[in-house]
């Protein structure tokens, strides 16, 4: 079956005006999202994961602006079934609000403790978007909300409709946030660290719920996370982001079993697991660069023990990994004339182990 492309992001550049000058938060991001598939964006805090998705939603902070690039979104007209492609970047705020946001692309937020309106009942918060966008009657919206609540695994749905957020636990609130996101039957679901703020025991359940719903509704999902464990569980494709750029992209197996970028090596090495208890957990040395300044060469070079001279001068382009049309790496190490550099021994062992255990869902 041919894959149907839903989102096509090209050369996205976003900057923020702050008191300390212009912050170049996103510096040329490219990625695609296909129907029914899951793309994860991984990276450290401040690498631009959230900013990218906020741009897709059109909810960038007021001081942020998209300087260049395009976010092409394709959907099928509800009546004619005809495919429509629009560049979200070119849409006005009004069009975004009326057509896209909430209706076609919905979002699950990080902290369910703060992302629900404390003075509005759960029911109202779920009913609101469908009444607003589709002009549903109160009864219709109520019925659908109760169904949605059941769907996201909330027992006593009718009773919960009357509850306020503070009367529910964190896990339940996240289920409510998911129900709100699903209320207008979106095509794309963006999950911004949906489990980070939750109890470990709840995390897996929420991930399973999102996967289950994704399958049932044939949703395309974008996961933002810094947790590679989550990525391994849910993603089909992974984009590793560093300092506002995607430095490595590929299928889940390519990223986990055959990582090529030293930054990805660092991320995988710094993943805690049960066997590494005797030595210290690996951390990537240094800190991410200051994005208010012009970055010369590869942004990761100062923290990269494998950095080449050219890394300090010229930003590496995306190199195709031989033998794959999905795996791409932005590192000069991939150049044919670059010295051959192997990933660290300890990481190799780790990957061997992961392969044996089948850590990923791929």
Residue ranges in contact with another protein by CB under 8 A: 57, 59, 97-98, 100-103, 106-107, 109-111, 114-121, 128-129, 132-133, 163-164, 166-169, 177, 180, 184
Do residues 230 and 243 touch, judged by C-beta distance below 8 A?
Answer: no
Nearest to another protein of 52, 264 (CB atom): 52
Q: Which is nearer to another protein, 100 or 329 (CB)?
A: 100
Question: Cβ of residue 256: shortest distance to another protein, in angstroms?
Answer: 31
Residue number with CB closer to another protein (201 or 277) = 201
Find the shortest distance in angstroms from Cβ 272 to another protein.
Answer: 28
Q: Closest approach of Cβ 80 to another protein, in Å?
A: 22
CB of 338 to another protein, least distance (A): 43
For residues 151 and 181, is the Cβ–Cβ distance under 8 A? no
Minimum CB separation of residue 357 from another protein in Å reads 36
- 19 vs 339 by CB, closer to another protein: 19
209: closest CA among 174, 239, 183, 261?
174
Look at residue 43 and give its three-state secondary structure.
Answer: coil
| Residue closer to another protein, measured from CB, 117 or 137 | 117
Minimum CB separation of residue 111 from another protein in Å reads 6
Cβ atoms of 269 and 346 within 8 Å: the answer is yes
CA separation for the pair 156, 54 (Å, rounded): 33
- Contact at 8 Å (CB) between 189 and 108? yes
Query: Contact at 8 Å (CB) between 52 and 11?
Result: no
Strand partners, 85: 74
SS (H, E, C) 159-226: HHHCCCHHHCCHHHHHHHHHHHHHCCCCCEEEEECCCCCCCHHHHHHHHHHHHHHHHHHCCEEEEEEC
Q: Based on CB atoms, which residue is closest to another protein, 206 or 243?
A: 206
């Amino acid at each position: 079956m041919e894959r149907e492309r839903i989102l096509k992001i090209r050369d996205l550049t976003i900057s923020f005006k702050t008191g300390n000058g212009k912050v170049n938060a996103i510096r040329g991001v490219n990625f695609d999202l296909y129907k029914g598939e899951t793309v994860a964006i991984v990276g450290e805090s401040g690498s631009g994961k959230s900013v990218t998705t906020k741009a897709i939603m059109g909810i960038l902070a007021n001081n942020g602006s998209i300087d260049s690039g395009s976010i092409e979104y394709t959907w099928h007209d509800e009546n004619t079934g005809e495919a429509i492609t629009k560049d979200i970047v070119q849409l006005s705020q009004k069009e975004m609000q009326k057509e896209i946001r909430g209706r076609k692309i919905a979002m699950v937020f990080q902290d369910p403790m703060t992302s629900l309106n404390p003075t509005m009942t759960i029911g109202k918060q779920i009913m609101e978007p469908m009444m607003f966008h589709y002009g549903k009657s109160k009864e219709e919206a109520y019925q659908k909300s109760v169904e949605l609540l059941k769907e996201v695994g909330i027992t006593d749905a009718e009773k919960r409709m009357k509850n306020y957020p503070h009367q529910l636990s964190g896990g339940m609130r996240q289920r409510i946030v998911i129900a709100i996101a699903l209320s207008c039957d979106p095509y794309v679901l963006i999950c911004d660290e949906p489990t980070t703020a939750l109890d470990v025991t709840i995390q897996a359940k929420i991930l399973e719920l999102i996967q289950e719903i994704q399958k049932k509704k044939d949703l395309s999902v974008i996961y933002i996370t810094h947790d590679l464990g989550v990525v391994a569980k849910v993603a089909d494709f992974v984009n590793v982001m560093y300092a506002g750029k995607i430095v490595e992209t590929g299928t889940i197996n390519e990223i986990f079993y055959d990582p090529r970028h030293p930054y990805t090596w660092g991320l995988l090495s710094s993943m805690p697991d049960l066997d590494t208890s005797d030595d210290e957990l690996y951390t990537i040395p240094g800190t991410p660069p200051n994005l208010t300044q012009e970055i010369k060469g590869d942004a990761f070079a100062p923290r990269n023990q494998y950095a080449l001279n050219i890394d300090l001068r010229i930003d590496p382009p995306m190199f195709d990994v031989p033998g794959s049309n999905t795996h791409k790496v932005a590192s000069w190490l991939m150049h044919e004339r670059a010295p051959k550099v192997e990933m660290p021994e300890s990481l190799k062992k780790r990957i061997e182990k992961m392969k044996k255990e089948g850590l990923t869902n791929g």
